[in-house]
């Protein structure tokens, strides 16, 4: 008796637990209890704004109470249904940034989560981890290749990750059979009504969208899953949104939610409405009493001002608005770099000067590269190329954030990499020796970035200038490949009569110096040189004591031939520092394989990644001979400078008939 009374007492708070939410607009007092963080805010008109148009921020709005999502005795998740009205207004028409999500989570503040592609839900280290206990339905307006997004206007069901379990272009079916489909534009600024239903009997999540208050019969997206292992007994429910480089305002007009039942329905016409697009009033101020002469004078002043402004303006043409990454204004970048001050100069290389900057507004740190581009012709091609490069996204690539052009100048804006370029650590700062573990991580990272360029994108992107000085280290010392695809951009602007060999001596595959043509296997060759460089702590071609340079491949091959390849490693490794002999051996041997002078015998990047991950064993190396990996020898006698240099046409070795190879452009990415 006493026992059952106790049981009753314990059961009491559970049975009285809240299982329903209803907000038709967020004006009433109960809305004040919603837990908001980040930049989320309830506006005076009763609209809940999760983010505004400031870049790289996030906003969360959660119901303050925990909801019981599971039968604690059986461990089975309950059914639930929710419906909400959202609207997304991007800063620039057609360019979203980034998206929002209905969220069931273990906390209300989602601590540690990141904005941009992480939608304020997760971060790079916990994405995909089963212990997240996160369920979300995302409304994503940017296509992220890292997470395999299908386009920049999709709805997705996300479980513990931002790689959606199922996703679909936003839209709805106008009939029951699903043969008539109507697309919806998420970032069109109009209210969209959404229903998310989880049926615990059939184990099915379904998502339905509409531009009206009537729920279409057939959901646009469903995914069979039992949420019991994903949800915990008690969870928080709410919304998350984030902005990226580009920003949108993400709004919620109403929200209704219920566990084990149908939530109250929302009626779009009774929800608060977003104000229509702002129309700038054209005001004519006519000062009748002002003397005519004054008007005339000011007209001249204004005229001169406007003329200068137009002359200097970077006029935006319509095609420039259609394409991917952000287009910055010159003023913005000038301000960010404090007028391209020398003090902000990070480096200088074949492509131009690189400045550090801080974007006004978002305080985001960026690197701004200033390239002068003389030829007016091909500008459009140039810019569309940037657009396609800007859409490449991978954790081991330095992200191109946007660009700006102004007369002959082209400014490229990149993520700022706190730890600078890798070569500095390898050669210039003996006090900052990288441990083997870090080197191996960097090599593997750069390999996966390069594989992505070769195979992961809709078109093959050849890097053309893989080398230690083009690998930048982020704050966690992850290696990120920079300057990708830029070399090809340069080709567009160059004179078609001369063949420019783009790359850096020591990393250039022999066939590349012959034909001037870069391929994925010439990238593999350069990656081979890069691996040897990182393990040995030596440049591909080093000035020796005498007049001859030491060619790293030959040098490593010497050790290989004597059966002691591991001894070629950086002498700073091993002096009391841990290193794993089998990994060092693997990377050095792989470096030799990639340095094969015959392009067809080099592995492909996909294989390189498999070897590095230990998924596949290295092939037999016993037939490897010096002649097969001596591609570097032709650069042997040349003086090596780290800046742009030219190839004299009389090179020794078998590849000397290369008079068309006039010069090697572009070296030294710094
Ligand atoms: C808001 O939360 C407080 C504390 O949980 C509660 O006492 C109050 O009744 C709530 N107000 C409304 C309007 O729900
Ligand atoms: C966005 O909100 C933040 C914080 O509320 C504010 O500092 C910022 O100025 C706002 N940005 C815009 C563009 O309104
Ligand atoms: C929870 O599960 C138990 C056993 O399966 C069942 O008897 C009970 O009715 C369930 N409770 C609820 C609230 O569904
Ligand atoms: C990622 O988020 C988790 C919490 O979900 C946090 O513990 C962790 O520190 C975060 N990681 C980073 C790198 O911010
Ligand atoms: C997942 O997260 C848990 C707890 O945060 C952590 O212990 C575990 O190592 C993570 N698993 C992976 C694969 O990252
Ligand atoms: C999909 O959902 C399951 C949970 O049922 C999860 O384990 C899996 O990794 C998810 N991700 C993808 C991409 O399918």
pLDDT tens for 615-666 read 999 988 877 766 555 444 433 333 333 322 222 222 323 232 222 222 222 2
Q: Which residues line ligand 2 at a C-beta cut-off of 6 Å?
A: 39, 52-54
Give the C-alpha separation, 244 to 187, whole Å.
14
Looking at residue 140, its pLDDT comes to 95
Contact 464, 516 (CB under 8 A): no
* Ligand 4 pocket, residue 126 CB under 6 Å: yes
pLDDT for the residue numbered 624: 74
The CATH number of the domain covering residues in 320-415: 3.30.200.20
Q: Is 613 in the pocket of ligand 5 (CB under 6 A)?
A: no
Residue nearest (by alpha carbon) to ligand 4 atom 4: 112
Q: What spacing in Å lies between the alpha carbon of 192 and ligand 2's midpoint?
A: 24
The answer on whether 280 is annotated among ligand-binding residues is no
- Measured distance CA(390)–CA(430) in Å, rounded: 35
Query: Which ligand has the shortest distance to the CA of 363?
Result: 2
Q: Which pLDDT score is estimated for 280? A: 36
Look at the chain and count its residues. 670
Best of 77, 156, 159, 204 to mutate for ligand 6, by most ligand atoms within 8 A of CB?
A: 159
**478 within 8 A of 422, measured Cβ to Cβ:** no
What SS3 class is residue 68?
strand
Distance of CA 483 to the CA centre of its chain: 14
- Report which protein residue has its CA nearest ligand 4's atom 8: 112
What is the predicted pLDDT for the residue at 295?
A: 58
pLDDT of residue 351: 59
Output the CA 27–ligand 2 centroid distance in Å.
21
Distance 259 CA to ligand 3 centre (A): 14
Please identify which of the residues 465, 483, 523, 570 carries the catalytic annotation.
465
For residue 123, the ligand 4 atom closest to its alpha carbon is 1
Dig out the tokens for 176 from the structure: 């029951």
Q: Which residues of 490-529 are buried (b: 16+ CB within 10 A; e: fewer)?
A: bbebeeeeebbbbbbbbbbbbbbbbbbebbbbbbbbbbbb
Confidence (pLDDT) at 380: 58
pTM of the model: 0.55
Structure confidence at residue 277 (pLDDT) = 60
- Per-residue pLDDT tens over the stretch 226-239: 999 999 999 999 99
The pLDDT value recorded for residue 382 is 62
Mark whether 465 is an active-site residue: yes
CATH for 422-666, options being 1.10.3720.10, 3.40.50.740, 1.10.510.10, 3.50.50.60: 1.10.510.10
Q: H or E segment at 49?
A: strand 48-51
pLDDT of residue 392: 81
Listed as ranges, residues in the chain with pLDDT below 70 are 1-16, 93-94, 245, 277-325, 349-352, 372-385, 387-388, 408, 430, 484-505, 513-516, 543-549, 574-577, 625-670
Domain definitions of the chain by residue range: 11-270, 320-415, 422-666
Buried b / exposed e across 140-158, counting CB within 10 Å, b at 16+? bbbbbbbbebeebbbbbbb
The CATH number of domain 11-270 is 2.60.120.200: yes
């Amino acid at each position: 008796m006493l026992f059952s009374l106790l049981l009753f007492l314990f059961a009491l708070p559970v049975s009285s637990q809240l299982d329903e939410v209803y907000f038709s607009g967020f004006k009433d007092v109960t809305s004040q209890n919603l837990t908001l963080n980040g930049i989320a805010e309830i506006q005076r008109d009763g609209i809940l704004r999760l983010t505004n148009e400031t870049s790289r921020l996030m906003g969360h709005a959660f119901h303050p109470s925990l909801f019981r999502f599971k039968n604690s005795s059986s461990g089975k998740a309950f059914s639930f249904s929710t419906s909400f009205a959202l609207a997304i207004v991007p800063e620039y028409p057609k360019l979203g940034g980034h998206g929002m999500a209905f969220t069931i989570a273990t906390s209300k503040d989602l601590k540690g989560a990141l904005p941009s592609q992480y939608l304020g839900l997760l971060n790079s280290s916990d994405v995909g981890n089963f212990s997240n206990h996160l369920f979300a339905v995302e409304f994503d307006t940017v296509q992220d290749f890292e997470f395999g997004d299908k386009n920049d206007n999709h709805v997705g069901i996300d479980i513990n990750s931002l790689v959606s379990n199922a996703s679909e272009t936003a839209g709805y079916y106008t009939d029951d059979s699903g043969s008539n489909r109507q697309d919806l534009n998420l970032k069109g600024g109009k209210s969209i009504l959404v229903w998310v239903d989880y049926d615990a009997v059939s184990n099915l999540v379904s998502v339905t969208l509409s531009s009206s208050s009537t729920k279409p019969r057939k959901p646009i997206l469903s995914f069979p899953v039992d949420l019991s292992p994903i949800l915990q007994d008690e969870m928080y429910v709410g919304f998350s949104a984030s902005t990226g480089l580009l920003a949108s305002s993400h709004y919620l007009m109403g929200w209704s939610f219920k566990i084990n039942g149908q939530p109250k329905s929302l009626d779009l016409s009774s929800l608060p409405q977003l104000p229509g697009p702002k129309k700038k009033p054209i005001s004519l101020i006519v000062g009748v009493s002002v003397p005519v002469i004054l008007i005339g004078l000011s007209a001249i002043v204004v005229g001169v001002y406007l003329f200068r402004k137009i002359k200097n303006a970077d006029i935006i043409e319509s095609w420039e608005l259609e394409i991917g990454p952000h287009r910055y204004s010159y003023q913005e970048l000038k301000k960010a770099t404090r007028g391209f001050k020398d003090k902000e100069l990070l480096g200088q290389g074949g492509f131009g000067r690189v400045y550090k900057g801080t974007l006004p507004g978002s305080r985001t740190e960026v690197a701004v590269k200033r390239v002068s581009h003389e030829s007016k012709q091909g500008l459009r091609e140039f810019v569309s190329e940037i657009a396609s490069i800007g859409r490449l996204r991978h954790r081991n690539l330095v992200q191109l954030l946007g660009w700006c052009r102004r007369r002959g100048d082209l400014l490229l804006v990149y993520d700022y990499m706190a730890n600078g370029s890798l070569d500095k650590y390898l050669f210039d700062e003996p006090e900052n020796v990288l441990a083997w573990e870090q080197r191996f991580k960097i090599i593997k990272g750069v390999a996966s970035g390069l594989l992505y360029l070769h195979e992961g994108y809709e078109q093959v992107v050849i890097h053309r200038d893989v080398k230690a000085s083009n690998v930048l280290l982020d704050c966690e010392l992850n290696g990120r490949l920079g300057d990708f695809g830029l070399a090809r951009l340069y080709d567009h602007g160059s004179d078609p009569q001369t063949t420019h060999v783009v790359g850096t001596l020591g990393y250039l595959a022999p066939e590349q110096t012959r034909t001037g043509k870069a391929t994925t296997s010439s990238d593999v060759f350069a990656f081979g040189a890069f691996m040897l460089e990182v393990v040995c702590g030596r440049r591909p071609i080093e000035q020796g004591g005498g007049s001859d340079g030491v060619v790293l491949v030959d040098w490593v091959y010497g050790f290989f031939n004597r059966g002691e390849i591991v001894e070629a490693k950086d002498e700073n490794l091993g002096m009391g520092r841990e290193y794993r002999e089998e990994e060092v051996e693997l990377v050095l041997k792989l470096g030799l394989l990639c340095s094969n002078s015959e392009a067809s015998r080099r592995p492909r990047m996909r294989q390189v990644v498999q070897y590095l991950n230990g998924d596949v064993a290295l092939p037999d190396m016993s037939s490897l001979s010096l002649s097969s990996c001596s591609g570097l020898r032709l650069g042997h006698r040349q003086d090596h400078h780290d800046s742009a240099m030219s190839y004299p046409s009389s090179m020794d070795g078998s590849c000397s008939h290369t008079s068309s190879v006039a010069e090697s452009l572009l070296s030294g990415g710094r």
